[in-house]
Every structure is written in C-alpha cells, then in structure tokens.
Structure 1
C-alpha cells in the first residue's frame, strides 16, 4: 500500500497517526504536529488560498513551537505581504497590544538592535509598523517572534488580519469593561454598607464579612480587567523602559494589596470599590480611543476594499471569471458599465467615462478611449471596456497611493518623536514624585498615604500629552487624502502651516502642459512635414510636457548622441547631421548661430526654435491651456496672506502675461533649474518659508530644496519621488484648502498640548494635597485623553464640500 503524502510538506504520513485538518472542505492528512500547526496557522490567518496557488510542497518546520510563525517564511505567503526595497525586504505589520507612544519607542528600539534590521517605524495611532530588514541576516519568523517576546501580537496587514484583530480587540475590551463595570457597581453597593456602618455602628464580624465580599468582587477586576496594564508594564520593565502603564499598574497593585492587608488584619480602610471604579474608567477611556482608531482605520481601508474580487478574462473567444489575483500583465479583461476596474491597464476597445474619485477626489467622470490608461479602483460609468492589464495588486497606482499614505503615517514629525522620548522621563518623574509624596504623608497621616499616592500615580499619566500631536496629524492626513492630496513626508503638515511664499512653475503646473502645435514658420528650404518630423525625432524619448505636442507625428529615424539640457532644449544627431530644438538662446549658444527674428506670438503661446548645426530651420509655435481653477486658487492663497511667485524657463514676456492674468505678485522668466533653486535659497536665507509647486524633471532641484513641495498627479515620476506631497486631482483650488487645514492642525495641536500640560500642572498639586480620590483621578486622566482625541476629530468636519473640476479648460490667451 502506497503511504499517504503530507498535504503540507509532501513527506510520507507515518502509519497509525491522525494529524488531520479540514482544508477547503476536505480532510487533509499531515505527517507531524509541526505541519499540522503550520497548516492551522495558514487557514486561521485567512491564507488557505496558499495551497491553491503554491507550485511545490512547503518545507517541514523544524519544531512545532515555531510552526505558527514559520509559515511567514514561505515565499508563497510572503508574496502577499513582503516587498523588495533595494536588496532588503519590507513588511507592514498590524501590532496588537500597543497602549501608548512609549510602546512604539520600545518596539523600535528593541527591533533596531537585531542584526539585519534596517529600519523600524511604528505608528501608535493606527497600531501599525513598517519594518525593513535584510533576509540574509534575519528571517521574518524570527522578527515576529521577537515582537511576541516583548509582549505584542504582530501579524501582516491584510483585510482578514485587520478584521480578526479588530473583532478580537473589541470583544476582549468589552469583556474586560463589563467585568470592571459590574465589579464597580457591586463593590460600590457593598461600600455603601461599610460607610453606613462606620457612621451608625456595625458589628466587627459583619464589617469584616463585607470586606471579604468586596475582595471577592474586586479580584476578577484586578486579575482580568486590569491585566492589560500589568502585562504592558511588565514587558516594558523587562526592557528597561518606563511606559504609562507602569504607574497605573503600580497604583492598582498598591491599592489592592493595601486593601487586602486591611481585610486580613482587620485594620485600616479598604478601597476595593475605588480600585474597581478607576480600573473601569481607565478601560472606558481606552475603549473610546480604540473605537476612534478603528473608525479612522476603516475610513482609510475603504480605498483598498473598493477592488472587486474577480474579473472577466478573455481567453480567445471564451470569457472566464477568475480571481483578480490570477491576472497577469498582457491579459485582456472586460469591464461592464457601472463596474469597478480591478487593475491598471490600457483601453484596447470601447469609449466610456471613468470616475477617478478614488485617486483624485474629483467626482466628475473623465472621458476615456482606446489608448488611454485606466487605474484600479476607478469606476467605468457608461459603456463596456476591453482593457489590457498592465499592473495588478501591489503594483497598481491605487496600491502605491495607499503605501504612500502608510509611509507618511509611519514617519514621525519632530514633535511626535520628542513626545516619545519625553514620555519615559515623565513617567520616571511621576514615580519619584510619588515616592516623595508617600514619604511626606506617611510622616503626617499614614492612614491616607496610600490613597494619595494612588491618586498621584493615576492623575499624572501623560496619556493626553502623548496623544496631542499624533491624533491631530492622523486625522488631518486622512482628511487631506479624501481631498486628493497625499503627504509622503511627515514634516509636510508642520511646514505647510508656516509657509509665507508659494512658488509655481508655469508649464504643466499653472497650465495643463497639454501643448499643441498651432503654427510652423519656416526659416529655410524645408517643408513643414520635414520640420515636424525632425522635431518629433528629437523629442521622441523626452518626458517633458513639450514632447507630448509631437507625439502624433510619424518618425522614420531615431536620433543618436541625444543630449538634453534641462529647461533649455534637446540636441541629437540625425542622419549624420546635428539638430537641436528649444529656447532661442540655447540654440544660439549651442551652434553659435545669430538669433533669427523672434516669431510673433500671442499670450499663452510658446515659440521653439529648430535648427541644424549650420542654420536655423523653423519656429514652431505651441499653445498651452490654463489649468482650471488656477486663477481662483491664486486669489484664495493671496487672501490667506501668502505671497505668490511664478518662476519659469519661458520667455519673460509670456511669464509676465501669465502672472498678470492670474494676479501673481512676483514673476521671473528664463529661469534655469539652478536659477530657480538659487532664488528659493535666497528667500530661505532671508527667513521665508517657501512652498514649491511643480511637475517636471527640471523642477526636481527646487522641489528638493524648498521647505515643502507639491508635485501634481500627472507630474513626472522623478518629480513625484522628490516632492513632499502629491496633488492627485491637479485641481489647484485644493491648495488653499490644504493650507487652511494645515494651519488648523497646528492650532489643534497647540490646543491639545496646552490642555494636556495645564491638566497635569493643575491636577498634580490637588492630588498631592489629597483633594482628588483615586476614582476621580481615573476619570480625569481618561477625560483628558478623550478631550484631546475629540478635539483632533474636529479637523474632519468640513465647512463645505470639496471643489470639483467641472469647468472646461480655457485657452490661456
């Protein structure tokens, strides 16, 4: 009889064993407990499709204890979660058990010490981590095991993992909250009897009996409801770091121990009711914070959940429905009217309108025809389309946007990093103050010392101080994303609130960059068709907006020795002769030719000079279109007190005309990339904070050099990489909204910090004086944290609906 093979690793299943697991509706035999544990972990994590897509059997795990994490070392599983960055790997983890900013500090510092870890960034508001490591030095399972060893529950970010963790977290929180609430009410009822007996007289036996009843009621509150505080405190102390749960745990343990001692010895007072009460209020505050975090997470995840699960792929004359995951570049799919496009691709058949609100924030449909690109997550609104797949899953534009958002939230502004560092010192200071307070009260009123210390420990927890900045930044970042404005660097919001000058490029920024040829003025014995063919050959490999004007012209040859001078022009050798096209001064300088008479141009037109090495050949006049909303945006920015500036490589007359038309206060024409950067640097040296808005490769130096920078959604890839943010919609009316929101965010952060500091400064003396009981201290600490979070949520209330680009483009004349 042929032995049965293990469904997981393929090795023979030993006779007489029964390690079976139901996978995809059928019982599957395993060869050992390790394979059974790995398979169980795969299925429980929503990864059962691994067995459907794998190309060979997995390796057998070394030990059953490592099985649940060893599954994440499998290449088939990592394909869903892990990205390659240079020679390293990067993963986004959802981490359960984070309670404060000090937890983030602990995780970052612990993992950074491991060999092979390149970078760790933890977002305390979303409980996510972005980790980069070298797979040659460290396995992913070892990385996850290290997180488990310091008390956290890591799992890769996925819809299933997020849903499971969120449900588990919510369910367990409600259980702990319910036990604490029931204990608080029951212990309170018993406490009323004890207090009444103190004033009216009660037999010692009955008094002691009620104390034991209070002890029994409070015991599950301490052991179960308060367990998260103890667990977090213990793991942090093992790592030699102080987090906010340390004083909270100390307060609960001291209060409970003192009450137990009083019960056993029949001396002093018991405050089991107070312990249950402030445990309840502490949990209640954290529960509300958790619900706010879940709401924000679900709002952010809504983008990723827009994609359909299946797609209709054309296979010859047949049409088959398959999972989107199985699509590959080059496949043809059909998308019916009203359906969401599942991947990035190029339209090969059909004419329709596509709603790109998920990418740009604009609800107006965009006309699409064969040859146009479409993106995953957008909606086909009118007619069926046949699309050739170009990217699926993590490689789509939508996924890139979500990753950009995740990166921005993982980065830490200076204020948040400072709060992380200060939190540990603040907790240490609280503990020192508590010892001093305990010593003083023990000398004067020893019977009150323990309760005063408890109040001091609880009331001074810096939860509100730690949440003040990250809560506001998280809400503001999500709100900006809703408006089609993506932040890629954490400092952007802080700088945006302080800028006083905003610098615009002209072509492709204030204008659409959708240039068209309106006139050709020949200067030699060359036909117009020949002139345009030479120009198209020179521009065929360029990514500049000007090159798009020549895209439809047939090219019969390819230039060699191509040299592009950014912001000036392009030269190349064609059929043995050297040609160039670009700014007139560039041509004159390159070929040492006399400048021909300038072609007459209207406002908004761009003259290019085409020349052979020995002679000028023609003027080619291009017409650009003014970007919709540009004039309105400039007007609003000026009203906000910003000085607007136009820096362009175009002719001075054309730049002046554009600036006058839009109401821009300063303008400078014929500016090279180096000249633009020099102008911005001089402004910075004079004390100005400069925001640069651009779109092309020639804008990259100044985008990098400005205090903050914005690249438009249709900008070159190089420009988007070097910009601090991306305006996906291209609607310049969004910029005043962004500036306004950044200023409101700074105001909210200042309000939060002011409140948090005032609360601690006012509450501490009252607690030290014995004027705040422990239960009131718990309410105060929870209320201060909730106030900070609630204040940050005000940023998501819009005064008006987002503006839409409903106007047709107008010629800049």
Structure 2
C-alpha cells in the first residue's frame, strides 16, 4: 500500500498501468472508456467508472485522486467487492471461534442512524449460515457469527458492500484513520454549508426587511428577483455537495426497502429547494433558500458532534492498540554476547532475551533476569503509581519501563501477551446492544414511517384549509422530527460510560453489564482471591504464658527471625506481619526445619520452637487450655505456636487476608439496599468468620462449583437479579450462570476470563465503582430518552399545526441531537 499511496500522491497513474484509474480492476484490451482527469486521459474499465470519474472531475474535485489512500469501490455492480476483501476465508485466524462457527468483529462505514443498524442486521441474517449479527451505531462495530459450512467471510463482506456499507475486519489503526478521514470530509461539507448559509442570509435579509410594517414595499420587484436568483446559485453548493450524504443515505435505504433517518431529511431538503426553484423560475411564491442552507448546516453540526462522540468512544481501544511496540532490542547471543539487534516485536518467542530501556514499553510478557526498575501499568490496570520490579519479577507486555534499563526473558510471544489478550476482549466489547438500545432502535424505525404519513396528512389538511401554507408545513414536519436523538440516547451514553470505565481499569465485555448491574438485587462474592487476597496473613496474635514475657511486637519478631529463610506461605505471612523487619538481636542461628511440624533455632542463646502445638509442647510443657486463645477455636484459621524452654510465648492465627477495600465495597452495596451474599468452597467456619468481619448476613461455605450454580439459580427462580464477583479462574460456571458477572483480572488470567466484565486493576472496589457508574449511566439514558420523546411529542404537532417554519424546525432537530450527545459525553468526566 505504501507504493500505491506514493503514486496517488504524485498524481501519476495507478500502480498497474493496465488497471482502471478509478477502481483498480484490470482493463481489457481495446476498451474505449476513458475520463479526463486534470487534462490527462485516464483508462477506465467500464462506463460506470468512466461516468463517476468524469463527474468528479467536472465538479472540480479531481484532487481527490491525489489524496486518496486506496481505490474507489467498483462501479461494475452492486455486489462488487474490493479484491483484497474477496480473499478473506474462514480459515483466517481472526475469524476462528470453534469447530463449526466463525465470528468476526467488523468495522462498518456509513452508519448514520438506527435504520442503518436495522438494515445491516436484517440483511446479514438473511445470508445462509449467519446466526448472529449485532451492530453498534456508537462505535461503528459489527459482531457477526456464521457457520463455516454454509458461509464464507467474503460473503459477509460482499453482502454489506452490496447495500452500501463498506466493511473490513476490525483494526484500531484503520478505525482511527477512518474517523479522521470522515472528520475531514465532514469539516469540508460543514464549511461549504456555513459559507452558503451566511451568503444566502445576506441576500434574503432585504426581503425580510421589506416585508415588515415599516419598510413594506421598499424592495423593487427586479431587485427581489435578482436576490432570489443569487440565493439559488449560493444554495446549490450546499444542496449538491454538503447535503450529498443525506441523499445517498436516503437512496440506499429506499433501494434496500427500508426507511432510514436520511429519508425524511432528504425529502425535506429536496421539497424546500424544489419549491424555491419553481417559485424563483415563475417569479412569484415563497422561497426557502435560507431555511435549506441553515437546515443543512445545523444538521451537519449535529453529525459532527456525533462523530466526535464516536471518536471519544474509540480512544481507549486506540491507546491499547498502540501499547505494544512494533520493535524490540533482541540479545540473540546472551549471555555470551550482549550486542542488541532491533527486530519486529511480532517475531519474539518464548526464551528470547530483550533489552528494555527507560521509557520503552515491554514488547511481550516476560521475567526480569537482570536489573531492577519500576513499571507503569496504567494502560493495563488503570493504576497510575509505578510498581517496583526486581530481578525475577514477571512483567506484562504493554507496561512502560519507568525506571532503569533491564533485561527481560520472554515467556510468551507478543501475540499471546497480556495486552494482546486484552485487545481481543476489547474488540468484542461494545459490539452488542442491551435491551434498552434494541427498544430504541425498533421505535426509531417505526417512527420514520409514521412521520412520513403524518407529513402527507399535514399537507393534505393544509392544502384544503390554506393551500399557501401546505408546503411549508409539510417541510417543517419532515425537518423537525428527530429519531436520531431516540436511537442515539442509549448507545452514546453506554459508549461514553464504558470508555470511562476502561480508563479506570474496568473492561466491560458484554453490552448488558451496566443495565443489569443497575437492576441487580443480590451481589454474590466468592471468598478466596475476591474478598481476600488469596494468600495467608496473620489475623490474630494471642500472647501465652506469664505477663513478664516478650510483648506483642517481640513475639512477632522472634517468629519472623525463625521464618526468615523459609519459602513456605505461612513463613512469608509471619515475616510480613513483623513489618519493621528483624533487628540484629533477633537473628536466628542453627535453624532446623522439621517437616510437617515446624522450626527450631537459637536466638540470643535461647532455644525457640515455632510450629504445631505438639511440636512446641515438647520443650514448653503442657499448655493450659484457657491460655490458648479459645476465642478463635473452630474459626477455620491455622494456629501456629511459639514457645521456648519451659514456657509458651504466643499463638499466631493465620488465614487468607482480607482485601483492604473489601469492607468498603460490601458497605457500599448494603447502603444501596442490595443483598450481599458470600459463597465459597472454603470451610464453613472460616467463611462465617470472614462474613462476620465484613457484616455479611448470608454466607455459605463448603460449596462445590455445581452447588454454587444451584444456589444462584435458586435466587434467580425467586425473582432475584444476581451479580456474581469471582476470581475468573475456578468460578467459570457460576460466572456464566449469573445475570451479570465480574472477574478479578490479573496477568495471564485476563484472557481466560468467562465474565461479563473484567477488573483489570485487580481492585475489588472497582465493582462498586462500576455500580455507581451504572446508576449514572441509566440516569443519563433516561434523561436522553425522556428528552427525545418530549421533544418529538412537542415539536412535531407544533410543526403540523403551522406554528414552526422550516428554518426553526431545522434548528430544533439539530439541537435535539446535540443535547443527547453532549449529555452522554458527561459520563466520560464523571
């Protein structure tokens, strides 16, 4: 494509001199069709391409050929497909789903309203083998699933091109480029419409002034006719260029036997402009050039706002897409040689050693084998503070080296990295629609049909009551309606909210998450790895023996000195509890580990034992029951005893540590009136202990995976809407069973998550953040829907009754769409 782009820029012929200059298809020998582009005869493959190319040149737009970055769609037939897309087959790894089905996320161009969505989904579902098609108007992404034995990937793309919607396999870079191109094209049309509107206003102002009571009759007929003709000429660019997307969209809808939002818009523009041309030609009658240009300008302003919203919705994915670097510094001869070679990151494989300089992104998942640094994980988890990474630490691909240069041994190729797994999830996210959006789409489709009937009825009634007002009223009815506001109310809010959540490290995979979470009545938590850290910690320390013995801090440091060189999880928990480290006087000597019993060592010339009760009893003597911390007996926690010759010193109760934000999260949902449930496979006493600490009244332990599913289903049968929060690894069944589910994400487990949403930041309070965002989002959606329905219910009857003229109707329609989009964008800053 680089060579193609270069030849386009220098204005030369197509790369293949035998190809059609317009569409790139081969040109048969002796073909007579040609078009003059900038004074140069260019060969064309068919009369369709010749006509289109000549029209572009005659309109003064031949510079398009110098700035394009690809051939135009072929003009040989509706089913024509660009050659590069015709090559896509079901064996492409991007479409792999399972043994029988394929699934693709496609980027669709030309989406304008809910009717476009309806048309695309209906057409694809008519294809043999297509079992699912979900189009999202806010993001421009289509998720389609088909059977391998009945349909090919190219068939899906061909069907979309046939109804006027070019589509490609989703690529964030292409999406960004497409939005930029659409923005530039829209900006040019907006400029032309604005210029036409301002100039036309200058010519119609004298006519308005002449019609008022003070200046009546001051404008001569000849001057009035001249100004009308000037207004006609100045309106032509707005109608023929700026308004062309509306006419094309309306024609595509009618050709596909559908009624899109562009239909009433195009009819309104055509009717107002046609009536004005006839009045100008005859020399009498009302003209609406000012209304036409103002309507086109305001509607384009509304579309510009919608495009800005779609750009913002795509921004998070673009940040992820650009997170992995294109190259890496490979140390092929390490450790014998340390010379680095720059290679493509995609070629890295497990076992390769790469050098990562400060400020660079880690090109793949790996372990640091030399050096220490800090890593910025904000792109992956939303956590802004850099994390310390020492030798041996595992670093996910996409993290930024915020400290010193290090050497990394690759553990997974770039294509299998944590960030790559996230991208696959994000590409699927936002392609479906929740129930509220489906309702809005269906309503908007029927709305257009009803609007056309109402416009005809208004014209008939006014033609009988006051013929002079029939045409302006019918135009006002067509122009004032705004089904766009109705169809954009839900997807624009959801796009803004999910983009905001992703920036906070919360990936919403399924479209119904926010809607269902807002309706949830029960919040069910797993314990290990969810409410707890998934690793042991010292929960209680009970001093034993005489009061003159070592204090609370001293017994912890003695125990930590004995455990200092042990890799056992309980040892790490005790060392971590000591916090202040081990002072020199607590250094343990001659430490011996007796398997299954504990440790023995000398500290300050005195012998100590740390382990189970029987092991310590051998040197400390028989323990008195009342001194053994009976308050914690039966709690399910592990008891570790410390003693010395002839004396018991302490008992450490160890269990899985609660997350720091667990109580805050549980309290939030209780305050919202939700029923919080703890469901775990751990022992019942330990589960009840955790539930008591967090204030959870419903708790059940000793649950197998199947029993968890049964419990959730029983809640659902009783009318509950269940939100499940688990670790995403061993809770796949119950996560899939719940109405909405969240998985605690970390590292490689992200790609295997079976939940509707993934907490990339690994913070439990993110569930509460999601619930708060869901409440705000539903509130904004209700506001948008209420505004859209109130506006249409008020404005359309007002126009039908003759209270609104065409230009004021255009202002109302543009403002209605703008209000919906701007209100939705507030969610990104919540």
TM-score calculated relative to the size of structure 2: 0.74
Q: Deviations over 1:254-280 (max 9, x none)?
A: 111111111122232111111111111
Deviates more, 1:366-375 or 1:429-438: 366-375
Name the residue aligned to 2:455.
Answer: 434
| Superposition pairs of residues 114-193 of structure 1, within 5 angstroms | 114-133=127-146, 140-193=153-206
- For residue 695 of structure 1, the aligned residue among 727, 737, 755 is 727
Deviation at 1:433, TM superposition (A): 0.7
> Is the CA contact (8 Å cut-off) linking 2:728 and 2:744 kept in structure 1?
no
Task: Show the counterpart of 1:195.
Answer: 208
1:617-639: CA deviations, max 9, x gaps? xxxx9842222321222222222
Q: Tell me which residue corresponds to 1:585.
A: none
- The question of 1:756 aligning with 2:756 is answered no
Stretch deviating more after TM superposition (336-345 or 282-291): 336-345
Provide Cα deviations, 1:24-58, integer angstroms capped at 9, x if missing partner: 9x99985853899489xxx99989xxxxxxxxxxx
- Which residue of 2 is the match for residue 230 of structure 1? 247
Q: 5 Å matches for 1:756-775?
A: 756-775=788-807
Per-residue CA shift, 1:168-200, capped at 9, x if unaligned?
A: 212211111111111112212211223344531
Equivalent residues of 2:348, 2:413 under 8 A apart: yes
**Cα displacement (A) at 1:601:** 6.4
The SS at the match of 1:624 is: strand
Residue number among 406, 412, 428 corresponding to 1:385 in the alignment: 406
Query: Greater Rg, structure 1 or structure 2?
Result: 2
Q: Does residue 224 of structure 2 align to residue 207 of structure 1? A: yes
Alignment correspondent of 1:106:
119
| Shift of residue 81, structure 1, vs aligned partner | 6.2
Give SS of 1:722's match.
Answer: coil
Give the structure 1 partner of residue 677 of structure 2.
645
Pairing 1:271–2:288 present: yes
Structure 1 pair 717/342, CA: closer, same or farther in 2 (3 Å)?
closer
1:375-454 mapped onto 2 (5 Å cutoff): 375-454=396-475
8 Å CA contact 1:71, 1:77 repeated in 2: no
- Counterpart residue number, 1:365: 386
Separation of aligned partners in 2, 1:727 and 1:87: 31
Say whether residues 1:658 and 2:690 are aligned partners. yes
- In the TM superposition, residue 367 of structure 1 has moved relative to its aligned partner by 4.2
1:707 aligns with 2:739: yes
- Which of 246, 268, 271 aligns to 2:263? It is 246
Farther off after superposition, 336-345 or 751-760: 336-345
The one of 737, 740, 744 equivalent to 2:769 is: 737
Inter-partner Cα distance in structure 2 for 1:71 and 1:135: 20
Cα deviation, residue 652, structure 1: 2.4
Deviations 1:451-474 (A, max 9, x none): 111111111231111111111111
CA distance in 1, matches of 2:468, 2:752: 66
Rounded to whole Å, the distance in 1 between the matches of 2:413 and 2:806 is: 56
Residue equivalent to 2:46: none
Deviations, residues 553-583 of structure 1 (Å, cap 9, x unaligned): xxxxxxxxxxxxxxxxxxxxxxxxxxxxxxx
Are the structure 2 counterparts of residues 326 and 732 from structure 1 closer, same or farther at C-alpha, using a change threshold of 3 Å?
A: same
Distance change (3 Å), C-alpha of 1:279 and 1:797: same
**Corresponding position: 1:307 with 2:320:** no
How many residue pairs get aligned? The number is 677
Distance 1:399 1:468 in 2: 32
1:329 CA displacement: 3.9
Question: For residues 710 and 258 of structure 1, what CA distance do their matches in structure 2 show?
Answer: 59
Q: CA deviation at 1:159?
A: 4.8
Q: Distance in 2 between matches of 1:515 and 1:285?
A: 57
State whether residues 712 and 722 of structure 2, in contact with CA within 8 Å, keep that contact through their aligned partners in structure 1.
Answer: yes
Query: Which whole-Å deviations, capped at 9, do the CAs of 1:490-545 have from their partners, x for residues lacking one?
Result: 11111111123211111121112225999xxxxxxxxxxxxxxxxxxxxxxxxxxx
Where does residue 356 of structure 1 map in the other structure? 377
- Structure 1 residue 794: deviation in Å? 1.8
- The offset of 1:133, in angstroms, is 4.6
SS class of match (2:429): helix
Task: Indicate how the Cα distance of structure 1 residues 469 and 703 shifts in structure 2: closer, same or farther if over 3 A, else same.
Answer: same
When structure 1 is superposed on structure 2, of 772-781 and 650-659 the one drifting more is 650-659
| Aligned with 1:493 (options 488, 499, 514) | 514
For structure 1, the residue ranges without an aligned partner over 5 or more in a row are 1-6, 9-19, 48-60, 519-546, 552-598, 608-620, 799-813
Contact 1:604 1:658 in 2 (8 A): no
Q: Following the alignment from structure 1 to structure 2, what is the Cα–Cα distance between the partners of residues 383 and 301?
A: 27
* 1:89-145: CA deviation from partner (whole Å, max 9, x where unpaired): 544333222111211121222233233545332221122223445677655555434
- Which region of structure 1 is more displaced relative to structure 2, 343-352 or 241-250? 343-352
1:704 CA displacement: 2.4
Distance in 1 (alpha carbons) for counterparts of 2:438 and 2:109: 21
Where in structure 2 are there 5+ consecutive unaligned residues? 27-65, 540-567, 573-629, 640-652
How far apart, CA to CA, are the structure 2 residues paired with 1:643 and 1:276? Answer: 57
The Cα of 1:413 is off from its aligned counterpart by 0.5
The DSSP-based 3-state class of the residue aligned with 1:322 is: strand
Distance 1:696 1:278 in 2: 52
Aligned equivalents of 1:550 and 1:38: distance in 2?
A: 72
The match for 1:33 is 19
Task: Confirm or deny: 8 A CA contact 2:366 2:396 kept in the other structure.
Answer: yes
Aligned-residue Cα RMSD (Å) equals 3.9
Tell me if structure 2 keeps the 8 A contact 1:628–1:731. no
- Name 2:476's counterpart in structure 1: 455
Instruction: Give the alignment partner of residue 756 of structure 2, picking from 720, 724, 733.
Output: 724
Q: Evaluate the alpha carbon distance shift between residue 742 and residue 274 of structure 1 in structure 2; reply closer, same or farther with a 3 A threshold.
A: same
Matched, 1:328 2:316: no
Say if 2:14 and 2:24, in contact at 8 Å, map to a contact too: no
**1:632 and 2:664 correspond:** yes
In structure 1, what is the equivalent of residue 598 of structure 2? none
Which deviates more, 87-96 or 304-313? Answer: 87-96
- Distance in 2 (CA, whole Å) between partners of 1:514 and 1:23 is 61
Distance 1:34 1:517, change over 3 A: farther
- The 1:44/1:603 distance shift into structure 2, 3 A limit, reads farther
Deviation at 1:417, TM superposition (A): 1.4
Per-residue deviation, 1:301: 1.3
Structure 2 equivalent of residue 539 of structure 1: none
